[in-house]
Structure formats: C-alpha cells, structure tokens
Structure 1
C-alpha cells in the first residue's frame, strides 16, 4: 500500500498583470490565481499600515492602484505600489488566502 502525502500548494511563480492592476500567481499545484492590486494594498500588514488602521487614517479604497515592483524574499513577496508604499511583505500562504485559496 502506498501513501501519498497531502501537501498544501504554495506560490511557484508570479508576475504583475500587463496593466499592473493584479498579481498573477501560479501555485505548485499548477493553479492560476489573480489577486487585485487594490486587495493587496488594502491587506498590507506592515507596521505603518497597521498603525494607520489603528489611528483611523487608513483609506477604505485605493482606486487605480498599480503594482510597480515585486521582490521575492523566499517566504513571501515584497510588493511596491504606485502610491509609493513599499513596506508590505506578503507571506506566500497569505497571498494564497487573498486569492481565495
């Protein structure tokens, strides 16, 4: 009898969409997912954004926000946005949860 281990998917590859309005993710299970840039920006958990939420000064929307740069840190992605924000680190399991996985 052979046993196969169930392994949760993780991010295998990624890129910004052509219009920079979404992060396109391919998982190790070969799923193709898309996370809108606005959802990413609204979901940032960096200290600056966390404090802004606590103080009631975090925006409710980021219309027209675009992804300007993506840095791979191994365990997650550092994503920069067109509003100048570049402090957010998105662990790969968190990215998949934002994509509905």
Structure 2
C-alpha cells in the first residue's frame, strides 16, 4: 500500500520585479505568482501598522510604493519599502494567500 502525502505549496524562490512594484514568487509546485508592493504594504501586520490601524492613522493606499529590500528569515520574508517602513515580516503562507487574492 502506498500513501502519498499532500504537501501545501510554499515559497521556493522570490525577487522584486524590475520596476520594484511587485514581489515575484515561485512556489514549490512551480507556480509563478505576483504580489503588488502596495498590497504587501497595506497588508503589513507589524505592531506599528496594527497600532496605526487601531488608531485610525493607517493610510488607505500607498501609491507608487516600491520594494527596496527583501530579507529571507526562513519561515517568511522581511520586506522593506520606499516609504522607509522595514518592520513587516510576511510568513510564507501569508504571502501566498496575498497572491491568491
């Protein structure tokens, strides 16, 4: 009897697009996905952004925002943006959920 385990896809590789306006992601199932930088910035769940949302100070949009740096933490990516924000950590399953929207 053979059992095949179902494994959820995860991030295998990533890079910022040439214009820095999107995060390009390749999954372990060889899917190519793209997440706009503005979607990432609006979806940040760091304490600073969470507090700003709670206080009603979080912007509704980040027009022209760009990805300036990507750090791989193993379980997720730390992404820095052109507005100076660099606190957001995006777990890999969360990144894939943002790409599916």
Question: Which TM-score applies when normalising by structure 2?
Answer: 0.98
Q: CA deviation at 1:3?
A: 1.7
Question: What is the DSSP-based 3-state SS (H/G/I as helix, E as strand, rest coil) of the residue aligned with 1:51?
Answer: helix
| Counterpart-to-counterpart distance in 2, 1:69 and 1:14 | 12
Q: CA deviation at 1:74?
A: 0.3
Partner of 2:58: 58
| Ranges in structure 1 where 5+ consecutive residues have no aligned partner | none
Question: Which TM-score applies when normalising by structure 1?
Answer: 0.98
Task: List per-residue Cα deviations over 1:50-85 (Å, max 9, x = no partner).
Answer: 000000000000000000000000000000000000
| Ranges in structure 2 where 5+ consecutive residues have no aligned partner | none
Aligned counterparts, 1:1-101, within 5 A: 1-100=1-100
| Counterpart-to-counterpart distance in 1, 2:2 and 2:36 | 40
| Counterpart-to-counterpart distance in 1, 2:78 and 2:5 | 30
Question: What is the DSSP-based 3-state SS (H/G/I as helix, E as strand, rest coil) of the residue aligned with 2:56?
Answer: coil
Of residues 1-10 and 63-72 in structure 1, the stretch that sits farther from structure 2 once superposed is: 1-10
| Counterpart-to-counterpart distance in 1, 2:65 and 2:41 | 8
Matched length: 101
Runs of 4+ aligned structure 1 residues displaced above 2 Å come to none
